Every structure is written in C-alpha cells, then in structure tokens.
Structure 1
Amino acid sequence: MVVSTLALWPWQQAVLPDALRALTSPAALLHGATGQGQLNLAFQLAKAWLCEGHPEPGGMFDDSPAEPELRPACGQCPACHLVDTGYHPDLMVVVPDNVVPRVGWPHLEEALDKADKGEGRKRKLSPEIKVDAIREVVSFSQSTVSRGRAKVVLIHPADRMNTVSANTLLKTLEEPPGQVRFILSCGPLDDVMPTVRSRCQAWQMPSAPAQAVAPWLAEHVEGLSAADASALLAAAGGSPEGALELMAMGWSAALWKSLPGDLKAGRVGAWGQWPLPLLLSTLQKLAHDMAREAVGAPALYFPQAALPQGAGLPQVTAWGQELRKAMRHAEHPFNAALKAESLLFQARRALAKA
C-alpha cells in the first residue's frame, strides 16, 4: 500500500480548516503524537497558502473591507498543480535524506541522486537535517516571490535539525523576510529545541481516532480485516504511519500476537533481523504491557491473552530500565547482530518466570 504524503487522510479533513484559522504567524510549528500524519497536514497548509484559486487574506483579490477566510487549496489552479508535482518555485520542502524515499516528491529524489553522483557513490541516508540544507533555506527565503502569493518553507521533522542547523535558521525564523512563511512539523513538542520553539506559533494536531483509522486501513489494504487493522494500529501505539510501516515490513496481527510467546520460548526467527531501534521499541512495548498486567491494568500494545502471565513487577521494571538504557545507543554503529542477540537473550531471561 502506498499512501501519499500529498493528500489529507480522511480524519484530517476537519482538522485542516482549524489549523488554517489558528496558524496566523509567519513561523508555525505543527506538532502532535508521533506518526499522526503531520507531514500530510503541513503540506496541505503550505498548499493552501500558495493556492491562487481563492481570495488571499488581506483583500488582494477581494474588494470587500472584510478579510476573506483562508480556505483549503482548491486543487485546480496552476499553483496547486505545481505544488502537487513538487515544482512550485515558491515552495521549499526540507526533510532528512532517509525520509525522501517515502515522501514521493520528484525534485527531492532528483537532488538526492545528484548528490550521490557528485560523490561517485551511494551515500548512507542521513536521519538529520544538515546545515547545508538550512543554508539553502535562508538563501531561498531572501529571494523574490515568483508567483506573487507567498514563499513557503516546509521543514519536517523539525526535531531532526541538529544544533548547528537550528542555530543557522534562528534569525530567519524570528524575522521571516517579506512574504515568507515557515511551517515546521514534528512529533512531541518537547523534541524540538527550545530556541526553535520560542520563535514559532505552536499548534497541536489532534491524534487520529482509532475508530476511523482501523476501517480505513482495512479498506485500503488487501486481505486485512478490521480486527487485524485494529491490532496493528495498537501495535504501533495508535500511529497510522507506524501501522503502515509495520505492514510494509510484512507484519500481521497473528505475527504480533505470537511475539511474546516466541520470545519466551526462544523462538527468535525474524526478530533477530530487525533494525535495533525497532527491536528495542518492540521489547519496550512488551515490558510496558507486562508491567501494566502486573498491576491489573489493561494492555496497550499487545492482546491481553498474548502476554506471559505471572511476571513480578520488580522483574519487569528492571527489564524496562535496561531497555531504556539500551535505547540511548540504538543508532550506535556496533555489531548489530551481536547486540540483537544480547537483547533477545535478555528478553528470554526476563520472561523466564512469567
């Protein structure tokens, strides 16, 4: 299943007008729980600001004294077409290299290919927004508007800017020149540097309702039942993007349900081949649910019946603490296979008395 980052998801249709009314600052920061489609909504905000098919707030195309309310993009005008194809001269989109493949904008992919050819090799895709990209943003913001509406810079995820990148942007973000608007999007607001947060108007995007996401997933993914969609959505912590990523990796509800029992029995299988951040995140979810089960609370991520029974709270808590320490170094370039083997042995030991 390919889900476009250009289009709003159904449950976001009612959110966009609220965001357009609320975000009036030249520098806006859209945030929310991880994986809720922030990039989709940020893109549609940028598209609305550039749309030439409706009156511009401020009366540019309206003789009435009252300012018209900014509406979602019409989708039909030349500006909307240019935005959809990724070649609007007044729109700049900045994402980390490792996000480019799932975004689907041709000019971003072309820039990545050009950089690879320039170095004569295929580079490792960076998870950070580097300072060179932000320098291009500053230069872009200082140039003249091409189509007369505005210039828009979209940066996602904003928390991926390193310290040097963020510091390079601060002055421009604080005083955007001319008709420039910034839309930064991210997960939790606390992940963004305070110096960046303080220069933006923050707006929290509502989380997607599970009762809307699960049927949508079941409708668009061949062979996926509503029950399985709900299970995978729970596995992803309620994140639609997370659920889509799990399905893209071949996960199923049955696979997720069998994971605790397989770990306890030492049946590793595919678990040992997962990227370390994903493996650690999964083990943390299991430890979290087992801690909840130990105090009589319902599980959040796994089916209750799939959890090993009888684990003591101190034992599970200690395991969770070990996992949190390991997560701090999940991106460290040590031997991934050995680290995964160590984590799975640790999990089996923690589950042994359950």
Structure 2
Amino acid sequence: MPWLAEPLAQLRDGARGHALILHGPGQVSLLSLAFRLAQAWLCEQPPGPCDQCPSCHLSLAGSHADLMVLMPETHQQALRWGGGAEGGDAEVADGESKSKRKPSREIRVEAVRQAIAWAHGSSSRGRGKMLVLYPADAMNVVAANALLKTLEEPAAGMRILLCVEDPERLLPTIRSRCQRAAIAMPKHPEALAWLSAKGVNDPETLLRAAGGEPQAALALQEAGLPSAAWHALPGRVAAGDASALTGLSLPLAVRLLQQLCHDAMAVLADAPPQYFPLGSVPKPANWVRLLAWQAALLKAARHDEHPWNAPLLLEALVAQAHATFARKATGAGKGAGRSSLDTLPT
C-alpha cells in the first residue's frame, strides 16, 4: 500500500508520545498502518520495518511476544485475522466457551485487563511492547476506563496505537491522553493503480462500491464480487434472487443490501447512485416500501452476528427487496420476510 509509506515514515520517526490515535476514513487501512508502525518500532534494523530481521519475521507471522492486537471477535472473523489478536476477547469471566456464545462486537474489559498485565512484563527482544486497538471505539465504557490508568502511566517502553475513523467516538479522557494523526485516503489514480496491480478488473467500479477504500474494494473481489457481479447485483436482488448473495458473510451481505437501499433512495429522488453504476439500480415502487425495507435492514444489521438464521434472514430481506422494486403490488408487498425478521429483538 504505497499511500501509507509517507505517514508510516513520519510517524515512525516523529511520534514522541506513548499513545497515538490513528484516525480517518477506511478502518482497514488504519489497521494496516498501525501494524506496520508497531512492526517498525520493534524492528531490529532501524529505521524499519525491514521484513528480514527475526523481530519482523515474528511480527509478520503473528507470533511476536511484544505485539498485541485487540479487536472484537466479529472483526477477527470478518478479516480472518490471525496476526496476534490476543486478550480477554477469547474468554469471558464466567468461563463460557466461544463456541457457545455469539461473537462479541466489543473489545471486552477482560481483554484490556489482560493487555495491561501483559504490558508490565519484560520485553522479549528489548524493543519495548506495542498494543494496537482496532477499532478503538469498540471498547465499551468499562473497557475504556480500564485503559485510562495505562495511558496515564504506561509501562516502560510501551506504545499504544488506537485506530478509529472518528476520534470523537472515543471518551474525552482517552482523547486527552493521546497524540493524534489524521490519515487520508489514497488519491484516486493511486488507488486504481494499486487495484490493477492486484489483478482487479474494472477497479473503478469496485473502488466506488467500497467508498474509495482500496483494500475494501479488493476484499469485494476476493469475496466473489468482481465488477461484473457488482453490476448485476441490484437487478438480481430486485428480481428476488437471493443466490446473488451466496457465499457472503451475513454482515457483508447486509451491508451490501444497505448500500443498494441507499442508492435506491437516490434513484427514487432522481439523484445518481453512490455505490452502484449508473443505470444498474431499478427505480423502487414507492417510498413506503423503500423505507420499510430500510428499517428491516437496520434491524438486521444490529443482529448480524447471529449465524443461526442467516439463510432465512437473507431470503426474507431479498423477498422484501423484490416487493420494494416491484412496479405492481405483489403478495410479498405486505410484510415480505416478516416472519423471519420478527424473530430478531428490536
């Protein structure tokens, strides 16, 4: 990711505090930058990261004893993260196993407390310890308050990197104890060139689909949504074809449907779509059905960590989309998917 080279060098050489908030659009890029910055500070051949020394090899393998990444279990699953995410997120106080509960959307207080205890241990390679929190606003109030003492009085050699799109989502007491660095999105030509080099056909379409974030655009293709499938998605969903979402995780599928709903609102208001190509989004029948579908999607998004009802939920949402886009009333027009959606708590 060449657009991260300049901020990486600036922060590696210029950051003097022990706690740094990395903020800006594109959380995946923020995580990549934070990881590379932590790797650089741990590198045994400064200025680093050299990717060759034993410390860099450990960091890249996700097994460096002096690097800890805290993130919610939902993010670990979505990113297929194996890069050293440790801490109490893998355990809960009552001993409930991870397999018997839903994945957590939060960075739990148990994880933060484990990280604090870890930070006060000795550095394995003498380069200090690095703690990354992603996204930092996933800490609840209890977890954030547990981190405060460490921010005020960090262990010797410890650095803390907090990744968040909007620092205002963090507690004022957290923000006041950290330096900040705003990270910009790459310029459009640079993002297109990077995607092309990664083998993405029609990178313009997927970059638009991902809101301008190159890594998210690449993730769409890797998830089985190249540009041709993205072009066809609105029409297939409008036709009630739930197989258009086959193979996608439930959170990703719901997010894509929300993007389609957003663009359908734009089309109904005679405005251009934001995420899908012009002309690919059918015009909805009316605002009543469209707003009802939007409400159903918002409800589903709040509970998209439940895997048990994923196929039924997606079928219900797509059936409601079909009714939303149908130019004539159909039997699905009233309460499409109601039985599946109503199994979710409000």
Asked if Structure 1 and Structure 2 have the same fold, meaning a TM-score greater than 0.5 normalized by the shorter chain, the answer is yes
Residues 293/120 of structure 1: CA separation in 2 closer, same or farther (3 Å cut): closer
Give, in angstroms, the shift of residue 24 of structure 1.
Answer: 2.7
1:166 matches 2:144: yes
- Is the CA contact 1:272–1:341 (under 8 Å) kept in the aligned structure 2? no
Residues 43/281 of structure 1: CA separation in 2 closer, same or farther (3 Å cut): same
Give, in angstroms, the shift of residue 96 of structure 1.
Answer: 3.7
- Which residues in structure 2 correspond to 1:182-331 (within 5 Å)? 182-221=160-199, 224-225=200-201, 227=202, 229-271=203-245, 274-309=248-283, 316-317=290-291, 319-331=293-305
Deviating more after overlay: 88-97 vs 211-220: 88-97
Aligned residue among 151, 159, 164 for 2:129: 151
Q: Secondary structure at the match of 2:279?
A: helix
Q: 2:314 & 2:52 partners in 1: Cα distance?
A: 50
Q: 2:319 & 2:194 partners in 1: Cα distance?
A: 38
What CA deviation, in whole Å up to 9, does each residue of 1:75-126 have, x standing for no partner? Answer: 4555444434444443333334452773443x659x99999xx999967754
Q: 1:210 & 1:121 partners in 2: Cα distance?
A: 41
Structure 1 length normalisation: TM-score?
0.76
Deviating more after overlay: 163-172 vs 185-194: 185-194
Residues 72/123 of structure 1: CA separation in 2 closer, same or farther (3 Å cut): farther
Give, in angstroms, the shift of residue 303 of structure 1.
Answer: 0.4
Equivalent residue number for residue 57 of structure 1 = none
Give, in angstroms, the shift of residue 257 of structure 1.
Answer: 1.0
Give, in angstroms, the shift of residue 183 of structure 1.
Answer: 1.1
Equivalent residue number for residue 34 of structure 2 = 42
Q: Which has the higher contact order (CA 8 A, sep 6+)?
A: 1
User: What letter matches 2:29 in structure 1?
Assistant: G
Q: 1:94 & 1:213 partners in 2: Cα distance?
A: 28
1:23 matches 2:1: no
Aligned residue among 70, 74, 79 for 1:94: 70
Deviating more after overlay: 334-343 vs 281-290: 334-343
Q: 2:236 & 2:314 partners in 1: Cα distance?
A: 15
Equivalent residue number for residue 134 of structure 1 = 112
Q: Which runs of 5+ in 2 are unaligned?
A: 329-346
Give, in angstroms, the shift of residue 287 of structure 1.
Answer: 2.0
Q: 1:252 & 1:75 partners in 2: Cα distance?
A: 31
User: What letter matches 1:23 in structure 2?
Assistant: A
Give, in angstroms, the shift of residue 19 of structure 1.
Answer: 3.0
Give, in angstroms, the shift of residue 272 of structure 1.
Answer: 6.3
| Matched residues, number | 322
Q: 1:189 & 1:199 partners in 2: Cα distance?
A: 12
- Is the CA contact 1:27–1:182 (under 8 Å) kept in the aligned structure 2? yes
- Is the CA contact 2:43–2:50 (under 8 Å) kept in the aligned structure 1? yes
Q: 2:287 & 2:85 partners in 1: Cα distance?
A: 48
What CA deviation, in whole Å up to 9, does each residue of 1:180-205 have, x standing for no partner? Answer: 21112233434444443343222221
- Which residues in structure 2 correspond to 1:7-86 (within 5 Å)? 9-20=1-12, 23-54=15-46, 71-86=47-62
Q: 2:232 & 2:63 partners in 1: Cα distance?
A: 46
Deviating more after overlay: 84-93 vs 335-344: 84-93
Q: Secondary structure at the match of 1:152?
A: strand
Give, in angstroms, the shift of residue 301 of structure 1.
Answer: 0.6
Residues 74/160 of structure 1: CA separation in 2 closer, same or farther (3 Å cut): same
Q: 1:216 & 1:90 partners in 2: Cα distance?
A: 31
Give, in angstroms, the shift of residue 350 of structure 1.
Answer: 1.7
Give, in angstroms, the shift of residue 171 of structure 1.
Answer: 0.9
Give, in angstroms, the shift of residue 172 of structure 1.
Answer: 0.8
- Is the CA contact 2:26–2:185 (under 8 Å) kept in the aligned structure 1? no
